[in-house]
Chains A and B, each alone.
Chain A
Amino acid sequence: MAKPDAPNAKIIDVDQYPPLLDEAASAEFLTQLSLRDTSKRANGALETKRAQISMAVRGYIEAMEKAFRANDIKATIAQAHEIRGLAANAGLEAVGRIADGLYKYLDTMQRLEAPIDAAVISLHINAIARASSTASEAKAHGERVAEELSALVAHKLQQINQLKTKPA
Protein backbone atom coordinates (compact mmCIF):
# COMPACT_ATOMS: atom_id res chain seq x y z
CA MET A 1 0.00 0.00 0.00
CA ALA A 2 1.32 3.44 -0.90
CA LYS A 3 2.16 5.80 1.91
CA PRO A 4 -0.60 8.34 2.54
CA ASP A 5 0.52 11.79 1.35
CA ALA A 6 -2.03 13.65 3.48
CA PRO A 7 -2.30 11.37 6.50
CA ASN A 8 -3.31 14.20 8.82
CA ALA A 9 -6.22 15.42 6.73
CA LYS A 10 -9.00 16.38 9.10
CA ILE A 11 -12.59 15.91 7.96
CA ILE A 12 -15.06 18.48 9.22
CA ASP A 13 -18.47 16.93 8.78
CA VAL A 14 -21.53 18.89 7.75
CA ASP A 15 -22.92 18.91 11.29
CA GLN A 16 -19.71 20.51 12.57
CA TYR A 17 -20.12 23.82 10.77
CA PRO A 18 -23.09 26.20 10.50
CA PRO A 19 -25.66 25.09 7.91
CA LEU A 20 -26.72 27.38 5.09
CA LEU A 21 -30.34 26.96 6.20
CA ASP A 22 -32.01 24.96 8.93
CA GLU A 23 -33.94 21.84 7.95
CA ALA A 24 -37.34 23.49 7.57
CA ALA A 25 -35.99 26.45 5.60
CA SER A 26 -33.96 24.12 3.35
CA ALA A 27 -37.08 22.10 2.55
CA GLU A 28 -39.04 25.29 1.83
CA PHE A 29 -36.30 26.70 -0.38
CA LEU A 30 -35.93 23.43 -2.33
CA THR A 31 -39.69 23.36 -2.89
CA GLN A 32 -39.55 26.95 -4.10
CA LEU A 33 -36.73 26.10 -6.53
CA SER A 34 -38.66 23.14 -7.92
CA LEU A 35 -41.83 25.10 -8.71
CA ARG A 36 -42.65 25.72 -12.35
CA ASP A 37 -43.62 29.29 -11.48
CA THR A 38 -40.15 29.92 -10.07
CA SER A 39 -38.45 28.77 -13.29
CA LYS A 40 -40.91 30.79 -15.31
CA ARG A 41 -40.21 33.90 -13.27
CA ALA A 42 -36.44 33.42 -13.54
CA ASN A 43 -36.61 32.77 -17.28
CA GLY A 44 -38.69 35.94 -17.55
CA ALA A 45 -35.92 37.83 -15.73
CA LEU A 46 -33.37 36.37 -18.15
CA GLU A 47 -35.51 37.37 -21.11
CA THR A 48 -35.98 40.90 -19.78
CA LYS A 49 -32.23 41.38 -19.66
CA ARG A 50 -31.60 39.95 -23.12
CA ALA A 51 -31.99 43.19 -25.12
CA GLN A 52 -29.83 45.11 -22.66
CA ILE A 53 -27.10 42.46 -22.81
CA SER A 54 -27.32 42.35 -26.59
CA MET A 55 -26.72 46.11 -26.73
CA ALA A 56 -23.78 45.74 -24.37
CA VAL A 57 -22.27 42.98 -26.52
CA ARG A 58 -22.59 45.14 -29.61
CA GLY A 59 -20.81 47.91 -27.72
CA TYR A 60 -17.99 45.51 -26.83
CA ILE A 61 -17.74 44.43 -30.48
CA GLU A 62 -17.33 48.05 -31.58
CA ALA A 63 -14.76 48.64 -28.87
CA MET A 64 -12.86 45.51 -29.95
CA GLU A 65 -12.80 46.61 -33.59
CA LYS A 66 -11.52 50.01 -32.49
CA ALA A 67 -8.86 48.48 -30.23
CA PHE A 68 -7.65 46.20 -33.02
CA ARG A 69 -7.47 49.12 -35.47
CA ALA A 70 -5.39 50.98 -32.87
CA ASN A 71 -3.14 47.89 -32.57
CA ASP A 72 -4.02 47.66 -28.87
CA ILE A 73 -3.86 43.91 -28.26
CA LYS A 74 -4.46 44.18 -24.53
CA ALA A 75 -7.74 46.03 -25.10
CA THR A 76 -8.67 43.59 -27.89
CA ILE A 77 -8.24 40.68 -25.47
CA ALA A 78 -10.26 42.48 -22.79
CA GLN A 79 -13.18 43.06 -25.16
CA ALA A 80 -13.04 39.47 -26.48
CA HIS A 81 -13.25 38.30 -22.87
CA GLU A 82 -16.38 40.40 -22.20
CA ILE A 83 -18.02 39.23 -25.42
CA ARG A 84 -17.41 35.53 -24.82
CA GLY A 85 -18.87 35.77 -21.33
CA LEU A 86 -22.05 37.60 -22.28
CA ALA A 87 -22.91 36.90 -25.92
CA ALA A 88 -24.75 33.62 -25.44
CA ASN A 89 -27.03 35.22 -22.82
CA ALA A 90 -27.97 37.73 -25.53
CA GLY A 91 -28.88 34.87 -27.89
CA LEU A 92 -25.65 35.39 -29.84
CA GLU A 93 -24.17 31.92 -29.35
CA ALA A 94 -21.94 31.95 -32.44
CA VAL A 95 -20.55 35.35 -31.44
CA GLY A 96 -19.67 33.92 -28.03
CA ARG A 97 -17.95 30.89 -29.53
CA ILE A 98 -15.91 32.94 -32.00
CA ALA A 99 -14.92 35.43 -29.27
CA ASP A 100 -13.94 32.51 -27.04
CA GLY A 101 -11.66 31.16 -29.79
CA LEU A 102 -10.11 34.60 -30.31
CA TYR A 103 -9.56 35.04 -26.57
CA LYS A 104 -7.90 31.63 -26.25
CA TYR A 105 -5.62 32.39 -29.20
CA LEU A 106 -4.57 35.84 -27.95
CA ASP A 107 -4.23 34.78 -24.32
CA THR A 108 -2.05 31.78 -25.22
CA MET A 109 0.15 33.74 -27.65
CA GLN A 110 0.67 36.45 -25.04
CA ARG A 111 1.54 33.95 -22.31
CA LEU A 112 4.01 32.22 -24.64
CA GLU A 113 5.31 35.61 -25.80
CA ALA A 114 4.78 34.40 -29.36
CA PRO A 115 4.14 36.68 -32.34
CA ILE A 116 0.44 37.28 -32.95
CA ASP A 117 -0.89 36.77 -36.46
CA ALA A 118 -2.98 39.87 -37.26
CA ALA A 119 -4.84 37.93 -39.97
CA VAL A 120 -6.21 35.53 -37.33
CA ILE A 121 -7.55 38.44 -35.29
CA SER A 122 -8.98 40.13 -38.34
CA LEU A 123 -10.78 36.95 -39.46
CA HIS A 124 -12.31 36.55 -36.00
CA ILE A 125 -13.40 40.15 -35.68
CA ASN A 126 -15.03 40.15 -39.11
CA ALA A 127 -16.78 36.89 -38.30
CA ILE A 128 -18.02 38.27 -34.97
CA ALA A 129 -19.40 41.36 -36.69
CA ARG A 130 -21.22 39.22 -39.28
CA ALA A 131 -22.54 36.72 -36.74
CA SER A 132 -23.90 39.49 -34.53
CA SER A 133 -26.50 40.20 -37.22
CA THR A 134 -29.90 38.94 -36.10
CA ALA A 135 -30.80 37.36 -39.44
CA SER A 136 -31.28 33.61 -39.10
CA GLU A 137 -29.03 32.79 -42.06
CA ALA A 138 -26.34 34.89 -40.40
CA LYS A 139 -26.77 32.72 -37.31
CA ALA A 140 -26.31 29.51 -39.30
CA HIS A 141 -23.38 31.08 -41.10
CA GLY A 142 -21.95 32.17 -37.75
CA GLU A 143 -22.03 28.61 -36.44
CA ARG A 144 -20.11 27.35 -39.48
CA VAL A 145 -17.59 30.15 -39.21
CA ALA A 146 -17.17 29.50 -35.48
CA GLU A 147 -16.26 25.88 -36.23
CA GLU A 148 -13.80 26.84 -38.98
CA LEU A 149 -12.13 29.49 -36.84
CA SER A 150 -11.94 27.13 -33.91
CA ALA A 151 -10.03 24.69 -36.15
CA LEU A 152 -7.76 27.54 -37.27
CA VAL A 153 -6.98 28.53 -33.67
CA ALA A 154 -6.33 24.90 -32.71
CA HIS A 155 -3.93 24.60 -35.66
CA LYS A 156 -2.14 27.84 -34.78
CA LEU A 157 -1.79 26.88 -31.12
CA GLN A 158 -0.53 23.43 -32.05
CA GLN A 159 2.08 25.03 -34.30
CA ILE A 160 3.29 27.39 -31.59
CA ASN A 161 3.33 24.64 -28.96
CA GLN A 162 5.43 22.46 -31.24
CA LEU A 163 7.85 25.34 -31.79
CA LYS A 164 8.04 26.07 -28.04
CA THR A 165 8.61 22.43 -27.06
CA LYS A 166 11.13 21.66 -29.83
CA PRO A 167 14.55 20.89 -28.30
CA ALA A 168 17.18 23.53 -29.11
Chain B
Amino acid sequence: MPSSAYEHLHALVVEDNVHMRTLLRSLLHALGIKNVSEAADGDAGLREMRNHTPDLILTDLSMVPTDGIAFTRQVRTSQNSPNPYVPIIMVTGHTERPRVESARDAGVTEFLAKPITVNNLIARLAEIVERPRPFVKCETYFGPDRRRRKMKDFTGPWRRHDDTAEGVEVR
Protein backbone atom coordinates (compact mmCIF):
# COMPACT_ATOMS: atom_id res chain seq x y z
CA MET B 1 0.00 0.00 0.00
CA PRO B 2 1.44 3.38 -0.97
CA SER B 3 2.68 5.41 1.99
CA SER B 4 2.41 8.74 0.15
CA ALA B 5 -0.41 10.17 -1.90
CA TYR B 6 1.95 10.76 -4.82
CA GLU B 7 3.62 7.35 -4.80
CA HIS B 8 1.48 6.11 -7.67
CA LEU B 9 3.16 8.69 -9.94
CA HIS B 10 4.63 7.04 -13.00
CA ALA B 11 7.37 8.71 -15.01
CA LEU B 12 8.63 7.71 -18.44
CA VAL B 13 12.24 8.53 -19.36
CA VAL B 14 12.91 8.61 -23.11
CA GLU B 15 16.64 8.92 -23.66
CA ASP B 16 19.04 7.11 -25.99
CA ASN B 17 22.04 7.22 -23.67
CA VAL B 18 21.84 4.42 -21.15
CA HIS B 19 23.96 6.30 -18.57
CA MET B 20 21.75 9.40 -18.71
CA ARG B 21 18.65 7.19 -18.50
CA THR B 22 19.99 5.47 -15.41
CA LEU B 23 20.96 8.78 -13.86
CA LEU B 24 17.49 10.23 -14.41
CA ARG B 25 15.85 7.10 -13.00
CA SER B 26 18.02 7.29 -9.88
CA LEU B 27 17.23 10.97 -9.41
CA LEU B 28 13.49 10.44 -9.80
CA HIS B 29 13.63 7.58 -7.29
CA ALA B 30 15.50 9.80 -4.84
CA LEU B 31 12.87 12.51 -5.27
CA GLY B 32 10.08 10.07 -4.47
CA ILE B 33 8.93 8.90 -7.91
CA LYS B 34 9.38 5.16 -7.67
CA ASN B 35 7.60 4.03 -10.85
CA VAL B 36 9.90 4.86 -13.73
CA SER B 37 9.88 3.19 -17.11
CA GLU B 38 12.43 3.76 -19.82
CA ALA B 39 12.63 3.94 -23.59
CA ALA B 40 15.61 4.49 -25.89
CA ASP B 41 13.89 6.63 -28.52
CA GLY B 42 10.59 8.24 -29.41
CA ASP B 43 9.06 5.17 -31.07
CA ALA B 44 9.89 3.00 -28.07
CA GLY B 45 8.53 5.78 -25.85
CA LEU B 46 5.17 5.70 -27.64
CA ARG B 47 5.02 1.91 -27.30
CA GLU B 48 5.87 2.18 -23.60
CA MET B 49 3.15 4.81 -23.14
CA ARG B 50 0.58 2.36 -24.43
CA ASN B 51 1.70 -0.27 -21.92
CA HIS B 52 1.99 2.01 -18.89
CA THR B 53 0.36 5.40 -19.28
CA PRO B 54 2.81 7.79 -17.60
CA ASP B 55 1.87 10.80 -15.49
CA LEU B 56 4.91 12.71 -16.67
CA ILE B 57 7.61 12.30 -19.30
CA LEU B 58 11.25 13.28 -19.43
CA THR B 59 12.61 13.12 -22.96
CA ASP B 60 15.89 13.81 -24.69
CA LEU B 61 15.92 15.92 -27.86
CA SER B 62 18.33 14.13 -30.21
CA MET B 63 17.49 10.47 -30.68
CA VAL B 64 17.43 8.09 -33.62
CA PRO B 65 15.17 7.19 -35.38
CA THR B 66 12.49 9.27 -33.63
CA ASP B 67 13.73 12.37 -31.82
CA GLY B 68 12.17 14.18 -28.88
CA ILE B 69 10.39 16.74 -31.05
CA ALA B 70 8.62 14.12 -33.20
CA PHE B 71 7.83 12.12 -30.07
CA THR B 72 6.30 15.15 -28.35
CA ARG B 73 4.23 15.95 -31.43
CA GLN B 74 2.93 12.37 -31.48
CA VAL B 75 2.03 12.46 -27.79
CA ARG B 76 0.17 15.73 -28.22
CA THR B 77 -1.62 15.17 -31.50
CA SER B 78 -1.87 11.46 -32.32
CA GLN B 79 -5.39 10.08 -32.14
CA ASN B 80 -3.92 7.05 -30.36
CA SER B 81 -2.14 9.09 -27.72
CA PRO B 82 -3.01 7.70 -24.27
CA ASN B 83 -2.68 11.16 -22.66
CA PRO B 84 -2.17 14.25 -24.83
CA TYR B 85 -2.08 16.46 -21.71
CA VAL B 86 0.82 14.67 -20.03
CA PRO B 87 3.55 17.08 -18.84
CA ILE B 88 6.69 16.69 -20.96
CA ILE B 89 10.06 17.86 -19.69
CA MET B 90 12.68 18.00 -22.42
CA VAL B 91 16.18 17.26 -21.18
CA THR B 92 18.60 18.86 -23.57
CA GLY B 93 22.10 20.12 -24.00
CA HIS B 94 21.09 21.82 -27.19
CA THR B 95 21.27 25.50 -26.60
CA GLU B 96 20.60 26.36 -30.21
CA ARG B 97 17.50 28.52 -30.18
CA PRO B 98 15.79 27.14 -33.31
CA ARG B 99 15.74 23.60 -31.95
CA VAL B 100 14.43 24.70 -28.57
CA GLU B 101 11.74 26.74 -30.33
CA SER B 102 10.78 23.70 -32.44
CA ALA B 103 10.48 21.63 -29.27
CA ARG B 104 8.34 24.30 -27.61
CA ASP B 105 6.14 24.45 -30.72
CA ALA B 106 5.75 20.67 -30.65
CA GLY B 107 4.21 21.00 -27.16
CA VAL B 108 7.02 20.58 -24.62
CA THR B 109 5.97 21.73 -21.15
CA GLU B 110 9.35 22.47 -19.57
CA PHE B 111 13.04 22.35 -20.47
CA LEU B 112 15.78 20.90 -18.28
CA ALA B 113 19.30 21.79 -19.39
CA LYS B 114 22.20 19.38 -19.23
CA PRO B 115 24.24 18.95 -17.10
CA ILE B 116 21.45 17.72 -14.86
CA THR B 117 21.39 19.27 -11.42
CA VAL B 118 19.14 18.28 -8.54
CA ASN B 119 17.94 21.85 -8.02
CA ASN B 120 16.95 22.26 -11.65
CA LEU B 121 15.09 18.96 -11.76
CA ILE B 122 13.24 19.79 -8.54
CA ALA B 123 12.34 23.22 -9.94
CA ARG B 124 10.87 21.73 -13.13
CA LEU B 125 8.88 19.08 -11.25
CA ALA B 126 7.58 21.70 -8.81
CA GLU B 127 6.61 23.93 -11.73
CA ILE B 128 4.45 21.27 -13.42
CA VAL B 129 2.76 20.36 -10.14
CA GLU B 130 2.32 23.86 -8.76
CA ARG B 131 1.54 25.78 -11.94
CA PRO B 132 -0.09 23.51 -14.51
CA ARG B 133 -0.66 25.38 -17.75
CA PRO B 134 -3.84 25.70 -19.80
CA PHE B 135 -3.71 24.01 -23.18
CA VAL B 136 -4.20 25.75 -26.48
CA LYS B 137 -5.81 24.08 -29.45
CA CYS B 138 -5.75 25.71 -32.85
CA GLU B 139 -5.12 24.67 -36.44
CA THR B 140 -1.36 24.73 -36.08
CA TYR B 141 -0.77 23.85 -32.44
CA PHE B 142 -1.93 21.69 -29.59
CA GLY B 143 -0.04 21.91 -26.34
CA PRO B 144 0.59 23.92 -23.18
CA ASP B 145 0.01 27.65 -23.44
CA ARG B 146 3.32 29.09 -24.59
CA ARG B 147 2.64 32.48 -23.03
CA ARG B 148 4.49 32.79 -19.77
CA ARG B 149 5.26 36.46 -19.40
CA LYS B 150 3.12 39.47 -18.59
CA MET B 151 2.91 41.63 -21.66
CA LYS B 152 0.97 44.67 -20.55
CA ASP B 153 2.41 46.88 -23.27
CA PHE B 154 1.90 44.35 -26.04
CA THR B 155 0.52 46.03 -29.14
CA GLY B 156 -0.08 43.01 -31.29
CA PRO B 157 -0.29 41.08 -33.46
CA TRP B 158 -3.47 39.81 -31.77
CA ARG B 159 -3.61 36.09 -32.16
CA ARG B 160 -6.66 35.04 -30.17
CA HIS B 161 -10.23 36.24 -30.06
CA ASP B 162 -9.88 37.16 -26.37
CA ASP B 163 -6.70 39.25 -26.79
CA THR B 164 -7.44 42.89 -26.02
CA ALA B 165 -5.88 46.26 -26.65
CA GLU B 166 -5.19 46.46 -22.88
CA GLY B 167 -2.64 43.71 -23.31
CA VAL B 168 -2.38 40.01 -23.82
CA GLU B 169 -4.13 38.06 -21.13
CA VAL B 170 -1.80 36.55 -18.59
CA ARG B 171 -2.44 32.91 -17.81
Q: Is A61 an interface residue (CB 8 A)?
A: no
Q: Is A88 an interface residue (CB 8 A)?
A: yes
The secondary structure that dominates the A interface is helix
Q: Is A133 an interface residue (CB 8 A)?
A: no
CA distance A45 to B26 in the complex (A): 6
If A2-B157, A41-B30 are given as contacts, then 4 extra A-B residue pairs at C-beta distance below 8 Å, sorted by A number, are A53-B19, A81-B62, A85-B114, A86-B19
Q: Is B9 an interface residue (CB 8 A)?
A: yes
B121-150 contacts to A (CB < 8 Å): 121-122, 125-126, 128-130, 132-141, 145
Is A42 a contact partner of B118 (Cβ separation < 8 A)?
Answer: yes
CA distance A93 to B93 in the complex (A): 13
Query: Which residue from B6, B31, B119, B159 sits with its C-beta under 8 Å from A9?
Result: B159
Give the interface centre of B19, B133, B136, B171 by most chain A CB atoms within 10 Å. Answer: B19
Is A11 a contact partner of B145 (Cβ separation < 8 A)?
Answer: yes
Q: Is A100 an interface residue (CB 8 A)?
A: yes
Instruction: Determine the chain B residues whose CB is within 8 A of the CB of A84 once the complex forms.
Output: 93
Query: Which residue from A1, A53, A89 sits with its C-beta under 8 Å from B156?
Result: A1
Instruction: Determine the chain B residues whose CB is within 8 A of the CB of A21 once the complex forms.
Output: 5-6, 9, 55, 129
- Expressed in whole angstroms, the minimum distance between the Cβ of B77 and any Cβ of chain A is 14
Query: Which residue from A9, A39, A56 sits with its C-beta under 8 Å from B161?
Result: A9
B2-56 contacts to A (CB < 8 Å): 4-6, 9, 17, 19-20, 22-23, 26-27, 29-32, 55-56
Q: Is B165 an interface residue (CB 8 A)?
A: yes
Instruction: Determine the chain A residues whose CB is within 8 A of the CB of B107 once the complex forms.
Output: none
CA distance A44 to B23 in the complex (A): 11
Instruction: Determine the chain A residues whose CB is within 8 A of the CB of B101 once the complex forms.
Output: none
A120-158 contacts to B (CB < 8 Å): none
Instruction: Determine the chain B residues whose CB is within 8 A of the CB of A14 once the complex forms.
Output: 132-134
Chain-B contact segment, one of A30-38, A65-73, A160-168: A30-38
User: Given that A32-B6, A85-B114, A89-B115 are known contacts, is A9 also in contact with B122, CB under 8 Å in the complex?
Assistant: no
